[in-house]
Structure 1
Amino acid sequence: MPRRENISMSVIRRLPRYYRFLTHLKQKGVTRISSTELSVKLGLTASQIRQDLNCFGGFGQQGYGYIVDQLCDEIGNILGLSNEYKAILIGAGNLGRAIASHMSFDDEGFRLVGIFDSSPSKTGTRINGQIVRDTVELEDFCQKEQPTMAVLCIPRDGVHTVIERLYNLGVRNYWNFSHYDIAMKYDDTVVENVHLNDSLMTLCYRISNPSQK
């Protein structure tokens, strides 16, 4: 099997899409599918799908295709979805509240163990059964719970101080909605930046240029 560090991020970023689609097939009762059928559904080439899966050893049989539930489980294992990494969320505003309420962290490899905000109007309230804690409690909470990841839903100008505190507490992994470049300051962190504005502008471009798919 190839060494995991040699696998490109473009391949890794396609795995959740495969996993999501295969989960849907399982729910519909589909037991087997070929790379050609997958390619039609996903808008990729069959060759691309086979190459991606072969990075992890390959899971299909020529002339038979892939067993849907087995491939789904294998991709879930590759992604580490059963790890239940402890996560905290910083910022209980509209975005943070929506993420804490509607994201299925437990299905995506994480367990949300704490929500924090600095606003007195938000601390003490509940989101999805969890009490929003004051950010002054971060140190004590992190020392006790040892979270692996933090979700950042705070304005960019408020991130610097929070990141410094989290980093000093050993948090090195971030799902970052703040538009602050964490990796520029801390190059040993793992960061997934989410730029909703970029996605919306890309959609605007595609609408404005319908000839480009």
Structure 2
Amino acid sequence: MSKNGNISSSVIKRLPRYYRFLGELEKQGVERISSRELSEKMKLTASQIRQDLNCFGGFGQQGYGYQVQSLREEIGHILGVDKAYSTILIGAGNLGKAIALHINFETRGCQLTGIFDANPRLTGETVGSLAIRHTDEIEEFCKAEHPVIAVLCIPKANTQAIADKLVGLGIRSFWNFSHYDLTIDHQGIEVENVHLGDSLLTLTYRTSHLKDSEEE
């Protein structure tokens, strides 16, 4: 657990990177690693790594470094990968289906329990092990299964209204791919807005300036 309740968003965003890198080291058979060695692999400073981990109590031993498996397990616990939060996905178009099929929810603290779409022609179609349900069934499903996370892959115009409805049905966290910056005016609700196009634009900016520098 954290030593205090005010962990910065930048530290939180680095935790999944630690978890991923430590997983790769574990697969390679690495049993322990120093903050300096980990910093070289992750392109962070050793001081930054120590500061980040100290937010949660610190896990290393001076002169020994970090025990890879133990540290990964601790970070996984902090991230909640052992929680199996019931999760629903709204919008079974190409993006929604790709997320349902290719994101390993179980290793990230979630269990995908329902997929919904407003298109009646998709009702009953199977995605992985789940049959798509019509969105008219969401309320009944939430009352029975009590999901707490919703993945939104729906048209921008519908996002706020559907999110507000889902909050009333017990959803507490949103992973939002709808190209709409979702905001929820309720305490205790978490939103992660994902804009894949923004990431690509960042890359094109860097590519453009790389080209400009080469031409100078």
Q: TM-score, normalised by structure 2?
A: 0.93
% identical aligned pairs:
58
Aligned-partner residue type, residue 155 of structure 1: P
State the partner residue of 1:189: 189
CA distance in 2, matches of 1:118, 1:178: 15
Cα distance in 1, alignment partners of residues 205 and 92 from structure 2: 32
Q: What code does the residue aligned with 1:157 have?
A: A
Tell me the residue number matched to 2:71: 71
How far apart, in 2, do the equivalents of 1:160 and 1:49 lie?
38
The residue aligned with 1:5 is 5
Would the alpha carbon gap of residues 15 and 96 (structure 1) be closer, same or farther in structure 2, given more than 3 Å must change?
same
The letter for the 2-side match of 1:117 is D
| Equivalence map 1:81-92=2 (5 Å) | 81-92=81-92
Cα deviation, 1:186-210, whole Å, max 9, x if unaligned, reads: 4642001100011000011111123
Aligned to 2:130: 130
User: Normalising by structure 1, what TM-score?
Assistant: 0.94
Deviates more, 1:116-125 or 1:3-12: 3-12
Task: Please name the residue that 1:118 is paired with.
Answer: 118
* Cα distance, 1:168 vs structure 2: 1.5
Counterpart position of 1:16 = 16
Pairs aligned (count): 211
5+ residue gaps, structure 2: none
SS in 2 for 1:162: helix
User: In 2, Cα distance between the equivalents of 1:86 and 1:187?
Assistant: 20
Mean CA deviation greater in 135-144 or 119-128 = 119-128
Give, in angstroms, the shift of residue 116 of structure 1. 0.2
* Matched residue SS, 2:120: coil
Q: What amino acid maps onto 2:74 in structure 1?
A: E
**One-letter code of the match for 1:25?**
L
Query: How many Å apart are 1:28 and its aligned residue?
Result: 1.0
CA distance in 2, matches of 1:89, 1:141: 12
Q: Is residue 2:180 matched to residue 1:160?
A: no
Q: What's the CA shift for 1:43?
A: 0.6
Aligned partners of 1:92 and 1:117 also within 8 Å = yes
Counterpart contact for 1:183–1:190, Cα < 8 Å: no
The 2-side partners of 1:146 and 1:4 are apart by: 30
Q: Which contiguous aligned blocks of 4+ residues in structure 1 show a shift greater than 4 angstroms?
A: 184-188
Q: Does the Cα contact within 8 Å between 2:3 and 2:57 map onto a contact in 1?
A: no
Match of 2:41 in 1: 41
Q: Which residue of 1 aligns with 2:56?
A: 56
**Could you tell me which residue of structure 1 aligns to residue 105 of structure 2?**
105
Q: Is the 8 A contact 1:11 1:52 kept in 2?
A: yes
For structure 1, which segment, 32-41 or 185-194, has the greater mean C-alpha deviation from structure 2 after superposition? Answer: 185-194
In structure 1, the gaps of 5 or more residues are: none
Partner of 2:95: 95
For 2:40, the aligned partner's letter is: V
**Aligned residue for 1:179?**
179
Is the contact between residue 183 and residue 189 of structure 1 (CA under 8 Å) also seen in structure 2? no
Task: State the distance in 1 between where 2:76 and 2:58 align.
Answer: 14
CA separation in 2, counterparts of 1:86 and 1:50? 33
SS in 2 for 1:182: coil
Q: 1:78 to 1:2 in 2, by over 3 A?
A: closer
Whether the 8 Å CA contact 2:164–2:184 is kept in 1: the answer is no
Tell me by how many angstroms 1:180 deviates: 2.5
